[in-house]
A and B are shown apart, each in its own frame.
Chain A
């Protein structure tokens, strides 16, 4: 009986052993493996960023993180000495740290492979390292706002890096080291390395060359005009693909001011999509398009008389040319950028047609561009808007838009009526497979193709004969519109005296636009602030570079004779305008006429060589 009992006992225990050692074996091993090893994450390499043609803009380089496990250090003084001398760290502090009762000390996260070799050669004990990936932006301060940056852990924080983080981010691998209970590495020194998987490569719609032209232009504008900032965006007018997007001042992506968050947020904000501003005259493009589309104006019979102002519901609203433009056709009024004309159109449309029309142009809506931090424009609430406001909206006041919002609206006005979604990413590729493709997306058909054709003709006239003359490129057809808007003080309240935004919206070729651009100089402070003289010349520079880059041949080049710019300083406006008319020069002025006011400033300066395509800016005041 005793024997039966004992055999039964042993059999029962053996049954239990079978359960543990055969049936649960695998699950127990998995759990055990967890405690047998210490793992160090190995970052999966982040995907590269290219321009539309495959020019590399951002890639990743390898750096190392060096750890010390105090338990495994046999000679703490030596380990501290070697690491501090190679890595340039305070030896005393390091020695104290590896003497602490902790399982792991991170010595440095920014170690090069050369330094690793040196450390390895010196054979200190208890030192471990893990591979890390550091983002490397090939051109440093280039397209910084578009590309954005990652945090130190390689997670996208702004721009494309943030927007497409899930594609770009790699899958982390692991470095497993066998250790005993308290983390001492075993002599067998078996380590398992699970390789990280590289993230997908991203191709932007940006064209490196055009981006470079634009970047140079905004840098020049920023410095020349001592502006608060200068920015420019160039879009494919037919597809919505962003070809270039730049602003100045900018920052070096390889040297991000991470310690100063406020500064970082300030310099890294993409003003083109995140900031709203009062557009001024460039907004007249939309008013004009709506006026034509709804039949408020036409190119044959419309005439507008401008006496320098309009009285709307008892309020006098001035035209920028306070002496008035006289009687003009619609096209002439657009060339003159006559505020009275656009007040007439806006009032003619009425608030319902104006608001629904602007809404169909995407005004006050986000464009849906694939970048983080997009803002949307602002308009006075429909229920409380008064006629005075409507008249002002007609020429781009009492309304705020983002640059990208205005640009896509203008594109719709001249590309046949298609309101597009602008986009920055052409495609995302991983292992030869296209994971994502950026495509043309029509949000809305705003105006008829016929209206759009008329718009192209009218705004080509603005560059040929009107305020956009400085944007001309000899032998090419360009359309566009200048804009000069007063800024409101940032604390709220009224107009901030002397602060302006000079803009130019241009498109080319004028009869079949492929490129459309918006060039913005925010708060130029060297005297001139009109879009026609501050912003438009940069458009000319950029367009001419694009045409050359694309290999487009000029047609009907006219040799324009150069002559010396006459000296207008000290003359009255009447005298000055007579001289300029005789030379065939278009001009704009600032200041009150009369009261004995004289020309106190002119651009271009007296004596400089100009041709009749130059637009002239003069300002009037008491001497």
Chain B
């Protein structure tokens, strides 16, 4: 109700508005969080900001394209999209092409640019799902087999990088979309249990995940190793208090907090702008997500409904996981905050997705 009153234009304009607002805030806090480490490591305090600004401009172009494009095309191209996603994910394992850092192979190094395929593939998969499930509604087990199998392939590839958090985002998005597509409640429960057991198995099989798990319960047990990152995030948030220490005044960014400009940028925001700053960022995300859900509800067809649900769902889950990791609510796992964290592929794809959601609202609403 209020949304309508406030926005004489159209409520769905909030999608690009929130997108640009978050990306803009991202640029500001990336600068603040990285200026020290960038000047130490690259001799240029704007190193990360410059890269992010270029990606932002690219993102704007992609968003504009997504707003204008014919989204029906995805239905025809669904298998191509799926195949491309799988190929992209597989490319990281080709020696010389894949690039590793911190024990994970997540990037394709094209020399002039580095791409993170999982950022693209997760949306590719969601688009594929929407297209497939609109054709074969998963209201019986037979129709659910293909989405689950395809989801298994995508999850398996991302897990092999490894990237636990994006795997979780993809798996959970699959569940949500199956549910939205009319999947049987009982089967849903069975599948949910399977995913849960699988997740636990993954944690138990790889010792480093177990360590991270215990680190999350008591980070001060190993303050120099597993617990380090989380403790540093706590220090940042704790120092921020209610109102923060002021923009650019973070102390944790002086190399204490690892990935301050990417996965842990929310800690720096908390340190500099306090609880109210965190509330603000979360509120913008909430507006964006609620908008996405509303667009899905008003979608003219099942395909557009599923597409809006899937795209919004990935964004929402990833934001929620990031907040949860930073605040120590779940075991630490590296996941960027959509729109805000430094990372070109991530920003461009998320902005492209915003364009798609806007496109659905504008052209395919009831």
Query: Which residues of A pack against B, CB within 8 Å?
Result: 2-3, 6-7, 9-10, 12-14, 16-18, 20-22, 24-29, 31-32, 35-36, 178-182, 186
Closest approach, in angstroms, between the C-beta of B295 and any C-beta of chain A? 12
In the docked arrangement, what's the CA distance between A36 and B329, Å?
A: 25
**B324 interface contact, C-beta 8 A:** yes
How many residues from B make CB contacts under 8 Å with A? 37
- Contacts A18-B275, A22-B241: A180 and B286 contacting too (C-beta < 8 A)? no
Per the 8 Å Cβ criterion, residues 248-307 of B in contact with A are 251-252, 254-256, 270, 274-275, 278-279, 282, 285-286, 289-290, 293
Q: Flag if B286 contacts A12 (CB, 8 Å).
A: no
When distances are taken between beta carbons in the complex, the residues of chain A under 8 Å from B275 are: 17-18, 21-22
10 contacts between A and B (CB under 8 A): A13-B324, A16-B324, A17-B275, A17-B278, A20-B234, A20-B238, A21-B274, A25-B238, A180-B40, A182-B255
Q: Flag if A22 contacts B242 (CB, 8 Å).
A: yes
In the docked arrangement, what's the CA distance between A28 and B324, Å?
A: 18
Per the 8 Å Cβ criterion, residues 327-345 of B in contact with A are 327-329
In the docked arrangement, what's the CA distance between A3 and B254, Å?
A: 38
Q: Flag if B241 contacts A31 (CB, 8 Å).
A: no
Partner of B235, one of A14, A26, A31, A180: A31
Closest approach, in angstroms, between the C-beta of B250 and any C-beta of chain A? 11
Q: Flag if B235 contacts A32 (CB, 8 Å).
A: yes
In this complex, which of A24, A181, A182 has the most chain B Cβ atoms within 10 angstroms of its Cβ?
A181
Q: Flag if B241 contacts A21 (CB, 8 Å).
A: yes
**B21 interface contact, C-beta 8 A:** no
Output the nearest chain A residue to B258 by Cβ-Cβ distance: A181
Q: Flag if A16 contacts B282 (CB, 8 Å).
A: no
In this complex, which of A7, A18, A21, A24 has the most chain B Cβ atoms within 10 angstroms of its Cβ?
A21
When distances are taken between beta carbons in the complex, the residues of chain A under 8 Å from B313 are: 2
Q: Flag if A3 contacts B290 (CB, 8 Å).
A: yes
In the docked arrangement, what's the CA distance between A332 and B275, Å?
A: 99
In the docked arrangement, what's the CA distance between A32 and B254, Å?
A: 12
Q: Flag if A7 contacts B286 (CB, 8 Å).
A: yes
When distances are taken between beta carbons in the complex, the residues of chain B under 8 Å from A31 are: 235
Per the 8 Å Cβ criterion, residues 31-58 of B in contact with A are 36, 40
**B239 interface contact, C-beta 8 A:** yes
Closest approach, in angstroms, between the C-beta of B261 and any C-beta of chain A? 15
Output the nearest chain A residue to B294 by Cβ-Cβ distance: A3
**B240 interface contact, C-beta 8 A:** yes
Q: Flag if B327 contacts A20 (CB, 8 Å).
A: yes
Output the nearest chain B residue to A186 by Cβ-Cβ distance: B254
**B316 interface contact, C-beta 8 A:** yes
When distances are taken between beta carbons in the complex, the residues of chain A under 8 Å from B235 are: 28-29, 31-32, 35
In the docked arrangement, what's the CA distance between A9 and B290, Å?
A: 13
Q: How many pairs of residues, A versus B, come closer than 8 Å at their CB atoms? A: 101
Q: What are the 4 closest A-B residue pairs judged by CB atoms, nearest first? A: A28-B238, A181-B255, A180-B254, A32-B235
Given contacts A6-B293, A10-B320, A16-B329, 14 further A-B contacts (CB under 8 A): A2-B176, A2-B180, A3-B293, A10-B282, A12-B329, A13-B323, A13-B329, A16-B327, A27-B238, A32-B239, A35-B235, A180-B36, A181-B254, A182-B255
- Contacts A2-B293, A180-B254, A186-B254: A17 and B327 contacting too (C-beta < 8 A)? yes
**B237 interface contact, C-beta 8 A:** yes
When distances are taken between beta carbons in the complex, the residues of chain B under 8 Å from A20 are: 234, 237-238, 327-328
Partner of A35, one of B256, B270, B278, B293: B256
In the docked arrangement, what's the CA distance between A12 and B321, Å?
A: 12
When distances are taken between beta carbons in the complex, the residues of chain A under 8 Å from B40 are: 180
**B309 interface contact, C-beta 8 A:** yes
Query: Which residues of B pack against A, CB within 8 Å?
Result: 36, 40, 176, 180, 234-235, 237-242, 251-252, 254-256, 270, 274-275, 278-279, 282, 285-286, 289-290, 293, 309, 313, 316, 320, 323-324, 327-329
When distances are taken between beta carbons in the complex, the residues of chain B under 8 Å from A3 are: 289-290, 293
Closest approach, in angstroms, between the C-beta of B316 and any C-beta of chain A? 6
Q: Flag if A6 contacts B289 (CB, 8 Å).
A: yes
In the docked arrangement, what's the CA distance between A180 and B232, Å?
A: 13
Closest approach, in angstroms, between the C-beta of B274 and any C-beta of chain A? 7
Closest approach, in angstroms, between the C-beta of B118 and any C-beta of chain A? 22
In the docked arrangement, what's the CA distance between A571 and B91, Å?
A: 124
In the docked arrangement, what's the CA distance between A2 and B305, Å?
A: 13
In the docked arrangement, what's the CA distance between A21 and B279, Å?
A: 12
- Contacts A2-B176, A6-B320, A16-B327: A25 and B241 contacting too (C-beta < 8 A)? yes
Closest approach, in angstroms, between the C-beta of A22 and any C-beta of chain B? 6
- Contacts A21-B274, A181-B256: A29 and B239 contacting too (C-beta < 8 A)? yes
When distances are taken between beta carbons in the complex, the residues of chain B under 8 Å from A6 are: 286, 289-290, 293, 316, 320
In the docked arrangement, what's the CA distance between A416 and B36, Å?
A: 81
Closest approach, in angstroms, between the C-beta of A503 and any C-beta of chain B? 67
Q: Flag if B316 contacts A17 (CB, 8 Å).
A: no
When distances are taken between beta carbons in the complex, the residues of chain B under 8 Å from A186 are: 254
When distances are taken between beta carbons in the complex, the residues of chain A under 8 Å from B238 are: 20-21, 24-29, 32
Q: Flag if A21 contacts B278 (CB, 8 Å).
A: yes
Partner of B252, one of A9, A13, A25, A32: A32
When distances are taken between beta carbons in the complex, the residues of chain B under 8 Å from A28 are: 234-235, 237-239
Partner of B255, one of A12, A16, A180: A180
In the docked arrangement, what's the CA distance between A7 and B242, Å?
A: 22
In the docked arrangement, what's the CA distance between A24 and B235, Å?
A: 10
Closest approach, in angstroms, between the C-beta of B6 and any C-beta of chain A? 19
When distances are taken between beta carbons in the complex, the residues of chain B under 8 Å from A25 are: 238-242
When distances are taken between beta carbons in the complex, the residues of chain B under 8 Å from A36 are: 251, 254, 256
Output the nearest chain B residue to A24 by Cβ-Cβ distance: B238
When distances are taken between beta carbons in the complex, the residues of chain A under 8 Å from B293 are: 2-3, 6
Q: Flag if A13 contacts B251 (CB, 8 Å).
A: no
When distances are taken between beta carbons in the complex, the residues of chain B under 8 Å from A7 are: 286
When distances are taken between beta carbons in the complex, the residues of chain B under 8 Å from A182 are: 255
Closest approach, in angstroms, between the C-beta of B271 and any C-beta of chain A? 9
Partner of A2, one of B36, B309, B323: B309
In the docked arrangement, what's the CA distance between A32 and B239, Å?
A: 8
Closest approach, in angstroms, between the C-beta of B77 and any C-beta of chain A? 27
Partner of A13, one of B180, B256, B327: B327
When distances are taken between beta carbons in the complex, the residues of chain A under 8 Å from B251 are: 32, 36, 178
When distances are taken between beta carbons in the complex, the residues of chain A under 8 Å from B274 are: 21
In the docked arrangement, what's the CA distance between A144 and B255, Å?
A: 53
When distances are taken between beta carbons in the complex, the residues of chain A under 8 Å from B241 are: 21-22, 25, 29
Output the nearest chain A residue to B275 by Cβ-Cβ distance: A21
Q: Flag if B254 contacts A21 (CB, 8 Å).
A: no
Closest approach, in angstroms, between the C-beta of A4 and any C-beta of chain B? 10
Q: Flag if A16 contacts B290 (CB, 8 Å).
A: no
In the docked arrangement, what's the CA distance between A22 and B327, Å?
A: 13
Output the nearest chain A residue to B274 by Cβ-Cβ distance: A21
Q: Flag if B237 contacts A14 (CB, 8 Å).
A: no
Closest approach, in angstroms, between the C-beta of A189 and any C-beta of chain B? 13
Output the nearest chain A residue to B316 by Cβ-Cβ distance: A6
In the docked arrangement, what's the CA distance between A181 and B255, Å?
A: 5
When distances are taken between beta carbons in the complex, the residues of chain A under 8 Å from B289 are: 3, 6
When distances are taken between beta carbons in the complex, the residues of chain A under 8 Å from B278 are: 14, 17, 21
In the docked arrangement, what's the CA distance between A2 and B294, Å?
A: 11
In the docked arrangement, what's the CA distance between A26 and B242, Å?
A: 11
In the docked arrangement, what's the CA distance between A213 and B87, Å?
A: 101
Partner of B282, one of A14, A21, A24: A14
Closest approach, in angstroms, between the C-beta of A605 and any C-beta of chain B? 82
Q: Flag if A21 contacts B240 (CB, 8 Å).
A: yes
When distances are taken between beta carbons in the complex, the residues of chain B under 8 Å from A32 are: 235, 238-239, 251-252
In the docked arrangement, what's the CA distance between A9 and B330, Å?
A: 12
When distances are taken between beta carbons in the complex, the residues of chain B under 8 Å from A179 are: 254
Output the nearest chain A residue to B278 by Cβ-Cβ distance: A17
In the docked arrangement, what's the CA distance between A24 and B242, Å?
A: 11
